[in-house]
Structure 1
Amino acid sequence: MRGIRLTAVVAFVTMGVSVPAAAQFAAPNPDVFAGAEDQQRARLLDQPCTDADEGHGCYRYDGRLIREAPCTYHIETGVIASKPTDQCYKMEAPRNYRGVWVDEFEGQAFIPEGTKAPEWPRDDLKSPEWDKEADRAIAARIWLDVERVDLNEERRRSGRKFFIEFIGRKTMYRGNYGHFGMSGHEIIVDRVISLRECPETGACS
């Protein structure tokens, strides 16, 4: 369970950002959410709160009323937590995956076998094409959640690459997952079948 201070949540809501994903740069599609309550919250997210809504989908912070974001809940005064990804979002059925896992600090990434890592734009940030290229890269990036499996900590030094085969569940809809919402999908690893470190040079397979 991860607590998020209300000051951060206020900033997220102001920007139209979904708390569980850490970044939703547009109003979220209600269909992506697993629960009916969270779907309804998504539909109402851009609607102003009234005094009658306080405690019923809205909360008061620093003198203003704020809509409850999908998948969030209060754990104590001043702290909001978010549901795990598979309790928040609709997920595909478990299946077998194989590919390269890049294990970097705040930068988990999974590159399925037979695909290439997404390329980030190299042009000037002010270039008209930059946003489109960045959006394509985010859509192709997959965040790998390994928190539910017991991996040898010796293997978890940042920046290493592994060839991994596992059983996992992928988010059904594209969104903004992982660190700062910079991944278009997330896969939760339920069981690791094999894991071996990639050589410093040559193919990783």
Structure 2
Amino acid sequence: MQCRFMNLAPFILLVTQGCEQQPQRFSDNDIQEFREGLPGITEGCLNKIKYGGIEAMPSSTDECFEMTPARQWKGLWRREFENSRFCPSPAGSCSYQTAGDRVWLSGKALTSSASDEGLYEVEFVGRQTARKGSYGHLSAFDYEIIVDKVINLSPVSDDATLTE
């Protein structure tokens, strides 16, 4: 009987070694500050940061933040260097200075559809961050919407530019 259990010893050793906890890279107080400073961040993402450092934080917003279910959106999208502002309908203009919540628009479906800077009328299916926070370039936006599917994307002519 003992011989059979002796054959399991290497297996048990491998399993228990895989369960060892990595040392924390950030303290519990640091993690609490992340939680407070980044509304909507998931516990799973906080754990990655706690043990893997800031470099372990996934680059895609939807991998770290609570998102609303996908839905259809329509409005204006201003694409500029270091700016991707979305202004939902019935917006008549859309720039960084436009009043209201600043919404950063992102997603592979979007960036593969439009390569030029400018103002676009856009309709798409996407998911928005569930809580107001700091998103986009330099964390200067209140929300982020990740575009999953572009339905319509039409440039607004320079003559009809609707910036403020």
Q: TM-score, normalised by structure 1?
A: 0.53
Larger Rg: 1 or 2? 2
Runs of 4+ displaced beyond 6 Å: none
Structure 1: 5+ residue runs without aligned partners?
Answer: 1-13, 19-23, 43-56, 60-67, 74-80, 122-136
Amino acid at match of 1:157: D
| 1:27 alignment partner, one of 37, 51, 59 | 37
8 Å contact kept, 1:33–1:39: yes
SS at match of 2:44: helix
CA gap 1:145/1:91 in 2 versus in 1, 3 angstroms? same
Amino acid at match of 2:115: R
Structure 2: 5+ residue runs without aligned partners?
Answer: 1-29
CA gap 1:201/1:150 in 2 versus in 1, 3 angstroms? closer
Other-structure match for 2:82: 106
SS at match of 1:162: strand
Deviation at 1:156, TM superposition (A): 1.6
| 1:92 alignment partner, one of 50, 68, 78 | 68
| 1:157 alignment partner, one of 93, 116, 121 | 116
Deviation at 1:114, TM superposition (A): 1.4
* Mapping 1:46-195, distance limit 5 Å: 57=50, 68-69=53-54, 72-73=55-56, 82-115=58-91, 117=94, 120=97, 140-149=101-110, 151-152=112-113, 155-158=114-117, 160-195=118-153
Name the CA distance, whole Å, in 2 between partners of 1:110 and 1:176: 15
8 Å contact kept, 1:118–1:140: no
Q: TM-score, normalised by structure 2?
A: 0.64
